[in-house]
Each structure stands twice: as structure tokens, then as C-alpha cells.
């Protein structure tokens, strides 16, 4: 219990620890897809809403990148934002900043910047990512359920064995 509290405290208070854990989470196969679809969906939706309501594209990217919760992704987007402020495309800047998690996101972003259909494509991207995230979470939960049943069954079996073993040993004493 103390380990969980110290982990929670460290994750929320120590920036380098949070960055390390977030980097690790992006390397775990199923979890990284859930995190990416959540973060990219949220980013796309925020940029779409902000640009649709009159905020400039660069300011919308700045505001949306501040909403990213994963520190590793946030640092990549912040590094890319520096180049976007200099007038470069976000897709190219993200590629240079080390965003190699989702090539289709970069391609769609590049296409939207070339065709000046940023709002429409980001709206479609956000819908796709939100649906994908829901699907990935359901798959993850379907995988997790049987594992949890086995783990809980093992714990209960261990407890029952620990309780009954001394009782059976008492019968042997005479």
C-alpha cells in the first residue's frame, strides 16, 4: 500500500519520473495504442474546435498541445511547436521532433496542411481516434478479465490453503 502511495506521489510531483513512466507506457504494445488514440483524438478535436471558432492555427496547436497528458508526447509536440512558430508545417515539425508513433496521423496532418482543409480532416481524425480508443479499451478489458479471474482465484486458493492447512495439522497432533 505504501508503495502505491509513493508511486502516485512521485508520478504527480516529480516531472522526470512522470516523463520516464509515460515513455515506458508508450512502449507497451496495447497500452501505447490506447494512449495514442486518446491523446491524438483529443489533440485533433481541440485544434478543430479552436480553429473552427476563429483561433489561429498556431495558437490552436499551442493550446491543444498543452492539453496532452502524456509527458513524452507533450514534449514532442512542444518541440514541434517551436518550428511551427517559425512558419513550418506541423506534420514536418512533428516528424523532426521524433514523433514516430502513428504515421497515418502525420500523413493526414500533412494532407490537411497541403489542401488547406485542416478543420475538416482534424474533425474526421478526432472521430476516428475516439472510436479506435473505445475499441482498443474494450479489447484490453476483454483480455484483462480472464487474467484477473485467474489471479483472484489464485489469491483465494492461497488464503483457503493457509487457513485449512493448520486445521489439518491439528488432527495429526495427539
- Between 102 and 52, the more confident residue is 52
The fold for domain 2-172 equals: Receptor-associated Protein (1.20.81)
pLDDT, position 146: 92
Q: What is the mean pLDDT of the chain?
A: 87
pLDDT, position 174: 61
**pLDDT higher than 70, residue 169:** yes
Nearest partner of 83 among 62, 106, 56, judged by Cα: 62
| Nearest-5° Cα angle at 79, 115 to 17 | 135
C-beta neighbour count of 43 within 10 angstroms = 23
Total-model pTM:
0.77
Express as a percent the part of the chain with pLDDT over 70: 99
- Name which of 7-11, 47-51, 152-156, 160-164 the model is least confident about: 7-11
* pLDDT single digits (tens) 102-128: 888 888 888 888 888 888 888 888 998
What is the Cβ-side half-sphere exposure of residue 102, based on CA atoms within 13 angstroms?
A: 22
Amino acid at each position: 500500500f505504501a508503495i502505491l502511495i509513493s508511486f502516485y506521489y512521485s508520478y504527480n510531483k516529480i516531472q522526470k519520473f512522470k516523463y520516464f513512466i509515460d515513455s515506458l507506457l508508450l512502449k507497451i504494445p496495447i497500452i501505447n495504442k490506447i494512449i495514442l488514440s486518446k491523446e491524438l483524438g483529443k489533440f485533433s478535436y481541440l485544434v478543430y474546435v479552436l480553429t473552427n471558432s476563429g483561433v489561429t492555427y498556431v495558437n490552436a496547436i499551442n493550446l491543444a498541445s498543452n492539453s496532452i497528458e502524456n509527458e513524452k508526447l507533450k514534449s514532442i509536440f512542444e518541440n514541434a511547436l517551436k518550428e511551427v512558430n517559425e512558419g513550418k508545417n506541423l506534420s514536418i515539425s512533428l516528424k523532426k521532433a521524433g514523433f514516430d508513433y502513428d504515421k497515418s496521423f502525420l500523413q493526414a496532418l500533412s494532407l490537411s496542411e497541403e489542401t488547406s482543409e485542416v478543420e475538416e480532416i482534424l474533425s474526421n481524425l478526432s472521430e476516428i481516434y475516439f472510436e479506435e480508443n473505445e475499441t482498443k479499451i474494450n479489447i484490453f478489458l476483454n483480455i484483462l478479465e480472464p487474467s484477473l479471474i485467474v489471479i483472484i482465484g489464485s489469491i483465494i486458493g492461497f488464503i483457503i490453503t493457509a487457513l485449512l492447512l493448520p486445521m489439518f495439522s491439528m488432527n495429526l497432533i495427539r
